[in-house]
A and B are shown apart, each in its own frame.
Chain A
Amino acid sequence: MANEFLEPITEQTFYLNMGPQHPSTHGVLRLFLKLDGEYIVEADPIIGYGHRGHEKMAESHLYEQFLPNTSRMDYLAGLILNHGYVAAVEKMVGIEVPPRAEYIRVICAELNRISSHLLWFGTYVMDLGGFTPFLYSFDDRENILDILDRVSGSRLTYSYCRFGGVARDVDDEFITATQQFVERLRSRWDDYHNLVTKNVIFIHRAKDVGVINRELAMRFGCTGPILRAAGVPYDVRKAEPYSVYSELDFEIPTGSKGDALDRYIVRLQEMEQSLRIIEQALERLPDGAIKAAVPHKVRPPRGDYYFAVESARGAVGFYIVSDGTSYPYRLKARVPSYGNLQVLTEVLPGTLVADTISILGSIDIVVPEVDR
């Protein structure tokens, strides 16, 4: 694509580099746009600026040592990726996790999902020009971070899940704080809807913008809210339930058209469903151990293993090949943002430059997760 600089440029067409340093690309993403006036003719997302070689790093690290890397891939839903990796290794070694640990993991993962969606909500509306909702959603998100900080000791890169359980037990204060947060967020929906969802400017900038229909989403391997907004009720938590999700009652919100507004509504509804999951899990939280006995040296038997979880952005899978030593032979992380980003090449042509911001924001990519 970079060679196209050499192509003769007509009077009307010109190239625009959006990023890598652009406030609304949420990281170091470079969008190479070929423009015809104000319309996009071609779009090419150029990635790799944030490549740190996590997958290669895994090969020289012990299974335990790779744990902090997982939350640094997707820093907004770090706990869910922790959960995915830990569960993958538990599947390899055959560790039975105590039920209390599973419930704590689910509660924390759902809190993390809400915090990720709240951050997306704030930044997306800020991309579209509304600064106030950003402050309100960060106020709510701060509550979640405080709750998770109290239990895991960290605000963003948690490393909270451990092989066979979790790092630290939760106390009564955690439970009451979480219940208070659930009530608090429920009381905030009206404000959010009045401020954003019903706002005429927001609707005009999101409705019928960036339509990713069912076929397109499935062709590019999109998962998460993008796929669900296109009307496909696919969620790893329902499709292949892991942890204790099969015991909990929740729904998968879906959209119909697959435009930016649908994705927005799906994410808001997902937060409501997450609140439901948290409430049920808190009610059922059993007593008991929080960590199973784990061999001092984790040495999975030879073979390849795959485990998928549903992160805030879609299906996250860890594919690990073991050669019987305490180092992974190969680790491949399937991340949702990668597929979700590639769909831009199909969606952006024919839209306005101003809509690019709206489409990119509504897809909710985390660039370090794409680059890994």
Chain B
Amino acid sequence: MIKDIVEGGWSLIAGMWVTIRRIYRPVVTVQYPRKYLEMSPAYRGHIEFAQFPETGSHNCVACGTCMRFCPTNVIKVQGEKTHTHSEKRASLYFIDFSHCSLCGLCVANCPTQTLKFSGEYDLAHYSRWDGVVDLIQRLEESA
């Protein structure tokens, strides 16, 4: 009986000692609104157009592969030709980010590699329409 009490009491002290030592170690949490962490290079935000230095613009040919592969149908892309024999080019590219599951199938399957992930992570909105991103407009604004 006394042995149990001593052993049990000692186990509590040993546990407490672990906690006490931790008090004098550096803080591991980052105080978020005051300090920001750097996002990893692989971080998957919503998709955006990559800018190619040769053309100074995106390279989307509106083939619709991303639209077909998207599990939740958040992508809407339309293209048009400037004249009969020219290549098709995206004139409209919208994503509804609020339904996106960030799987990256669109990026993985893009034949012209014009899609990439953005580093955006603070994506809370007041309205569901704020989740809709116009990628062409976004590219023009960033350029």
Interfacial residues, chain A to chain B (CB-CB below 8 A): 61-62, 64-69, 72, 132, 136, 139, 142, 146, 149-154, 157, 159, 162, 167-168, 191, 194-196, 198-201
Residues in B with CB closer than 8 Å to A132 are 19
Q: Chain A nearest CB: distance from B75 CB in Å? A: 13
In the complex the two chains form, what is the Cα distance from A62 to B103 in whole Å? 14
Contact at B108–A162, with CB atoms within 8 Å?
Answer: yes
Contact at B103–A68, with CB atoms within 8 Å?
Answer: yes
Residues in B with CB closer than 8 Å to A201 are 12
Contact at A153–B44, with CB atoms within 8 Å?
Answer: yes
Contact at A200–B11, with CB atoms within 8 Å?
Answer: yes
Contact at B42–A153, with CB atoms within 8 Å?
Answer: yes
Interfacial residues, chain B to chain A (CB-CB below 8 A): 4, 7-9, 11-12, 14-15, 17-19, 22, 28, 40-44, 68-71, 101-105, 108-109, 117
Residues in A with CB closer than 8 Å to B17 are 194
Contact at B101–A68, with CB atoms within 8 Å?
Answer: yes
Contacts A69-B71, A157-B102 known; A199 to B12 CB distance under 8 Å?
Answer: yes
Residues in A with CB closer than 8 Å to B44 are 153-154
Q: Chain A nearest CB: distance from B54 CB in Å? A: 25
Contact at A150–B40, with CB atoms within 8 Å?
Answer: yes
Contacts A65-B71, A195-B19 known; A200 to B105 CB distance under 8 Å?
Answer: no
Residues in A with CB closer than 8 Å to B105 are 64-65, 67-68, 159
Among A66, A149, A157, A167, contact of B71 (Cβ-Cβ < 8 Å)? A66
Contact at A153–B117, with CB atoms within 8 Å?
Answer: yes
In the complex the two chains form, what is the Cα distance from A162 to B105 in whole Å? 9
Contact at A159–B104, with CB atoms within 8 Å?
Answer: yes
Task: Give the nearest-CB partner of B65 in chain A.
Answer: A296
Interface SS, B side: helix
In the complex, 18 of the A-B residue pairs with CB atoms within 8 angstroms, ordered by the A residue number, are: A64-B69, A64-B105, A72-B101, A142-B28, A146-B40, A149-B42, A149-B43, A153-B44, A153-B117, A168-B42, A191-B18, A194-B14, A194-B15, A196-B15, A198-B14, A200-B4, A200-B8, A200-B11
In the complex the two chains form, what is the Cα distance from A140 to B131 in whole Å? 34
Q: Chain A nearest CB: distance from B110 CB in Å? A: 13
Q: Which 8 A-B pairs have the closest CB atoms?
A: A200-B8, A68-B103, A153-B42, A153-B44, A65-B71, A159-B103, A150-B40, A68-B101
Contacts A65-B71, A194-B17 known; A154 to B102 CB distance under 8 Å?
Answer: yes
Q: Chain A nearest CB: distance from B104 CB in Å? A: 6
Contacts A65-B105, A151-B42, A194-B15 known; A200 to B7 CB distance under 8 Å?
Answer: yes
Residues in A with CB closer than 8 Å to B108 are 162, 167
Contact at B117–A139, with CB atoms within 8 Å?
Answer: no
Contact at A149–B18, with CB atoms within 8 Å?
Answer: no
Residues in A with CB closer than 8 Å to B28 are 139, 142
Contact at B40–A153, with CB atoms within 8 Å?
Answer: yes
Task: Give the nearest-CB partner of B5 in chain A.
Answer: A200
Contact at B71–A61, with CB atoms within 8 Å?
Answer: yes
Contacts A65-B69, A139-B28, A200-B8 known; A167 to B104 CB distance under 8 Å?
Answer: yes
Scoring B11, B41, B68, B117 by chain A CB atoms within 10 A of each residue's CB, the highest score goes to: B11
Task: Give the nearest-CB partner of B102 in chain A.
Answer: A154
Residues in B with CB closer than 8 Å to A199 are 11-12, 15
Q: Chain B nearest CB: distance from A129 CB in Å? A: 13
In the complex the two chains form, what is the Cα distance from A200 to B10 in whole Å? 9
Among B22, B69, B101, contact of A62 (Cβ-Cβ < 8 Å)? B69
